[in-house]
Amino acid sequence: MNTALLAAGGTTSLQPPGIYQGAANVIAALMLLLEFGMLRQALIRDQVRLYAAQSALISVLAIVIAADRGLPDLYALAGLSGALKVVVVPLVLRRLLGVPVDEDSPGVAGSYTLSPASAVLASIGLAAFGFFTFGAFHISGPAAPALALAIAGAMVFVAFGLMIVRRDVASQAVGFFSLENAISLAALVVAAGLPLILETAFLFDLLVAVVVFGMLIRTHHGRAESLSTADLTGLRG
Amino acid sequence: MLAVFLVILILPLATGVISFTVPARAAALATVVSGVASFALVLSLVPEAAHGDLSFLSGYLRADALSVIFLLATGFLYAAVAVYAVGYTRHHDATYARRFYAGFNAFAWAMLAAPLMGSLALLWIAVEVTTIISALLVAIGDTDGAAEAAWKYVLIASAGLGLALLATVFAYYAGAQVLGQHYNLAIQPLIQAGSRLPQTPVRLAFLLAVLGYGTKVGLFPVHTWLPDAHSEAPTPVSALLSGSLLAVSFYAILRFYQVAAASLGSGFPRDTLLAFGIASLLLASLYVFGQRDVKRLLAYSSVEHMGICAIGVSFGAPVALAGVLLHVMAHAAAKGNAFMGAGVFTVKYGSKQMSAMRDGMRLLPWSGPLFLLAIFALSALPPSGIFRSEFQIVAGGLGSGSYTAAAVLVVLVTVVFFGLTASATGMLLYTPGGATHRDPPAHRGAPRVPPGVRGEPSAWMVVPVLAGLAVLLVLGLHPPGELTDLISRGATQLGSP
Amino acid sequence: MSAAVPIPVIQLLQVLTVALGAPGIMGVIAKVEARLQGRRGPKVLQPYYDLAKLCRKETLAPEQASWFFLAAPLIAVAAYLTIPLLIPVLTTYPLPLGYMGDILGGGFLLALASFVIATAALETGSPYAQLGSSRAKTFSAITEPVVLFVVFTVALLTGTDLPYALAATVRSSAGQVVRPAHVLASAALFMVILHETGRIPVETHTGTNEFGMIEEARSFEHSGPYFALLKWGSMLKQLILFTILADVFVVPWGLASSQRLGAVLLAIVALLAKAAAVGCVVAVIDNSFAKLRLFKITEYASAAFLLAVLGVFTLYLGGG
């Protein structure tokens, strides 16, 4: 009696994916969680750290996909992307934000339009929308099932949410960089075979964008004596 | 021919790099030389491109009729504004001038490179580079407004380009299904493989491309950065932004349109462009009223014209497509003229607010009438090139059965005409102490120049406007044969894959 | 050691294991926490002595309190003792009384016990007790959606919401344990457990910090054997929640798959070991983080909710 009932109720579930797909899904889910983490973090220094962790995850995913599909190009890409986005970009950001090296000082906190809890709840809605929209396309690459692309879609929306909800230039910039991360995730899922030279060009382009963003943050900071965008209301109509 | 490509690609960048190190006058001269040379080189491409496509480096560098038309728009403005900038930077110090020229040349380089890229990925990179450089140029004037406008611009435009990157990724996915995993996003093979491409990714890619690149084109609802950036940038940069950058971004949309039309048929792409075009045109026509800042007014006019281009493409008839391509070139000339004229006014009266500008016809004997002519040209009065192009667009619309859309287009263009001329009349014909005391004198910073000092600030700022006027007249009255061939070839490429 | 234990005895053993083992788990956590802080700490069996001591003390009740005040601890303990019948404590196969309720039923019983205690505390009129009750109910309401979504994950994975079925599914292959949906649901459940058992970062379990108390405050007015019942009840709740986490989600191995005496005894030992392991993790967390300010508990709950919702989402498209 017992086993019969168990058999009737159990394992109507979907079969778990294979090792590589599972790893890709887990990494994508972790990246999404880090995105939410960035949403909740008050201190900009911690946001940058989360961004570095997210970029590290992208490199790991690139290695996983390279191992799964035998694309040696992706190993090089993983290394380059890791060096650039995990090391150089956070370094540049922290330098430009003038964050003190002394770890004891709390650093700069960003400002919100919504409280963190409400922001998370609103972003859950955004993520759901992105998730189901992208999932409905049933586009899947050979390396990862449709789930990873759906998670990338959710991440894109949450990154936009991050840019909307936060009211200071540094958080908005970090939001934009995590948007690039989300798009890189989608690219890895769907376009893993893109020639290396193009991917490298994308990466260097990102670096230049970081520098320019940093310069503009500096300009803003110099003018307004704060990082807040609450006063950027002069140009209207 | 490859040499021409390479020189076009290298010369402006080299000039930009040099401008950092040499004195300001030398940088100005170098920029003028570079601008005129680039334009001449682009002109030399016209006969070839009118009859065949040019492709080098296994397709990474490519110029067909469509590319050359956009190159012409950029090249002409590069040359004209380079001359204009000589007079403009006279009023600024050497460091500013050096930074300005470095950025200006780099900006022109990126915009010239984009239509020559034969791969969607490189196209994206070129457009992203234009964003980054122009953001720095917008911020170069050290005011609160410039800093605010630059931040909004870089954030919104980069986010939009992020969407465009996603579109490129999906285009790759679609292409890889047919052309193999190592497909390098070359445009031509993708168009040729059109009907075999899977439809959902192409649809998604096109929509994301219109939204993403449309951010840089200034389509509603992602146009919000445009009035701020175009009004706060230095005038030469505004001219290039409005005349060339919007066009280059529209070029990117057109490439995606080609792919989408080849794969999905013409229904969905045209409907999308029509929707965005009408919305942009409607927004612009409402916002040209009540503008206080002359450059902001012109920025909304740019939104209007980009909307017209989008609507023109959505009509699909060959004459409408030819009209769109002609419009790109004519708009570059007309908008360049308008901004250059506005710049003269700004320098003369010390303020961008139209309430501070009075009696322009008398005080600026050349720039006043030229500005009026530019405004008329933008409102599509004959015999300017824009009249010809909009006429062709409307004719194409009526011919292909889109009566409502064509009618809406005509009505809204008329509305914009009212808005533009009303403001321009105030600037040019009213005298101080006339019926304009309603306007408050408040404006940012600069003191009002006492009226009555008649004379042009600089001859350098008048000559390019004359050249632009000449171009408009030629385009409107009798476009050269080669150019017409080029346009009709471009229209054919757009119309049928 | 191959004697077959009759089913009713196993059922009884389930309840007895939980009932008698609960104070021991509490003692283990206290000991580990003390050791981590560099102290020797109390004896592992100290909670037993405490309960015994309390039973010998006199009972006092406030004047305004009614019979409910005295009945509440009894009802709560009765509810807590019923739950081990519903969840897999010792066996992989469902026992007869296990069909009395599913995972929602178990949650219902937990909520009943919590409600009863809170109402009894409200009855007393003591400010601290009322403070604790109102806070406890507010935060429980916020964490309810999380629990629901965790249940949904279970339901989506197995098609039922019998905890036995989920345990069987998780045991069926190694890949199941690392599924994103499963990991997310487990993480969300762990965060809820920290909240329900009154641990850091929600509340300090040791010492009486009046302004931060939520769970601890509700038992302020009880004394004597009733207080002992309340304390025992909270220990039972802790062990039950640990058991659900360990036996259903995280490590559903080591359960008896037959009725042999040896297997059953092994299962008892395994259960206590697993609960102790979870307790060690809780102790480490206790020592590593600071208590959250009360208004930040909503952020904590939203984070748990996020994990649970993502767990449900990732199941939808398959491969999660």
In a domain, C257, yes or no: yes
Question: From C96, which residue of chain A is nearest by alpha-carbon distance?
Answer: A2
Give the C-alpha separation, A158 to A54, whole Å: 14
pTM for the whole structure? 0.84
Q: Is the pLDDT of residue B169 over 70?
A: yes
For C143-152, what is the mean pLDDT? 83
Q: Read off the pLDDT of residues B313-356 as tens digits, 9 standing for 90 and up.
A: 999 889 999 999 999 999 999 999 999 999 998 888 888 888 88
Of A172, A195, A212, the CB nearest to B132: A212
User: Which amino acid makes up residue A164?
Assistant: I
For A69-79, what is the mean pLDDT? 82
Q: Read off the pLDDT of residues A152-186 as tens digits, 9 standing for 90 and up.
A: 899 999 999 998 888 888 888 889 999 988 988 88
Domain range annotation of chain B: 138-495
Q: List CB contacts (< 8 A) between C156 and chain A.
A: 13
In a domain, A3, yes or no: no
* Distances B82 to A163, B88, B340, C305 between C-alpha atoms, Å: 37, 10, 11, 58
In a domain, C1, yes or no: no
Q: Do B136 and A138 touch (CB under 8 A)?
A: no
For C53-72, what is the mean pLDDT? 89
For B202-226, what is the mean pLDDT? 92
Residue B63, H or E segment: strand B61-63
Mark which residues 118-137 of A lie under 8 Å from B by CB. Answer: 137
In a domain, C226, yes or no: yes
More confident residue, A23 or C287: C287
Phi (first) and psi of residue B119, to 5 degrees: -125, 140
The pLDDT assigned to C6 comes to: 83
Q: List CB contacts (< 8 A) between B128 and chain A.
A: 205, 209
Domain total in chain C: 1
Domain total in chain A: 1
Pick from C99, C161, C191, C317 the residue to mutate for testing the A interface (most A CBs within 10 Å). Answer: C317
Give the C-alpha separation, B19 to B35, whole Å: 14
Q: What is the ipTM metric for this complex?
A: 0.87
Pick from A1, A3, A32, A147 the residue to mutate for testing the C interface (most C CBs within 10 Å). Answer: A147
Does any CB of chain A come closer than 8 Å to the CB of residue B178? no
Of A6, A40, A135, the CB nearest to C317: A135
For chains A and C, CB pairs below 8 A equal 111
Residue indicated by tokens 């973090």: A41
User: Which amino acid makes up residue A41?
Assistant: Q
Q: Is the pLDDT of residue A220 over 90?
A: no
Q: Which chains touch C (3 or more CB pairs under 8 A)?
A: A
Give the C-alpha separation, A130 to C290, whole Å: 35
Proportion of chain B above pLDDT 70, given as a percent? 95
Proportion of chain A above pLDDT 90, given as a percent? 11
Question: C92 and C164 in contact (C-beta within 8 Å)?
Answer: yes
In a domain, C203, yes or no: yes
The pLDDT assigned to A215 comes to: 83
Q: List CB contacts (< 8 A) between A189 and chain B.
A: none
Q: Is the pLDDT of residue A59 over 80?
A: yes
Helix, strand, or coil (residue C240): helix
pLDDT mean across residues, chain B: 88
The pLDDT assigned to B452 comes to: 64
Q: Is the pLDDT of residue A17 over 80?
A: no
Does any CB of chain A come closer than 8 Å to the CB of residue B147? yes
Q: Is the pLDDT of residue A99 over 60?
A: no
More confident residue, B391 or C161: B391
Q: Do A146 and C176 touch (CB under 8 A)?
A: no
Q: Which chains touch B (3 or more CB pairs under 8 A)?
A: A
In a domain, A82, yes or no: yes
User: What's the gap in Å between the CA of A197 and the closest CA on chain B?
Assistant: 10
Does any CB of chain A come closer than 8 Å to the CB of residue B224? no
Q: Read off the pLDDT of residues A25-38 as tens digits, 9 standing for 90 and up.
A: 888 888 999 999 88
Determine the structural domain holding residue A213 and report its residue range.
Answer: 20-100+108-224
In a domain, A9, yes or no: no
Q: Read off the pLDDT of residues B459-491 as tens digits, 9 standing for 90 and up.
A: 888 889 999 999 999 898 888 888 898 899 889
Determine the structural domain holding residue C277 and report its residue range.
Answer: 7-316
Confidence of residue B441 (pLDDT cuts 50, 70, 90): low
Q: Read off the pLDDT of residues B3-49 as tens digits, 9 standing for 90 and up.
A: 888 888 899 999 988 888 888 888 888 999 999 999 999 998 888 88
In a domain, A8, yes or no: no
pLDDT mean across residues, chain C: 85
Q: Is the pLDDT of residue C135 over 50?
A: yes
Q: Is the pLDDT of residue B98 over 80?
A: yes
A53-67, A107-121, B242-256, B279-293: least confidently modelled range: A107-121
For C43-54, what is the mean pLDDT? 92
Does any CB of chain A come closer than 8 Å to the CB of residue B296? yes
Confidence of residue A8 (pLDDT cuts 50, 70, 90): very low
Q: Do A216 and B139 touch (CB under 8 A)?
A: yes
Does any CB of chain A come closer than 8 Å to the CB of residue B200? yes
Give the C-alpha separation, B446 to B356, whole Å: 11
Of B162, B184, B290, the CB nearest to A179: B162
The pLDDT assigned to A11 comes to: 36
Q: B376-391: b or e for each residue (b if 16 or more CB lie within 10 Å)?
A: bbbbbeeebbbbbbbb
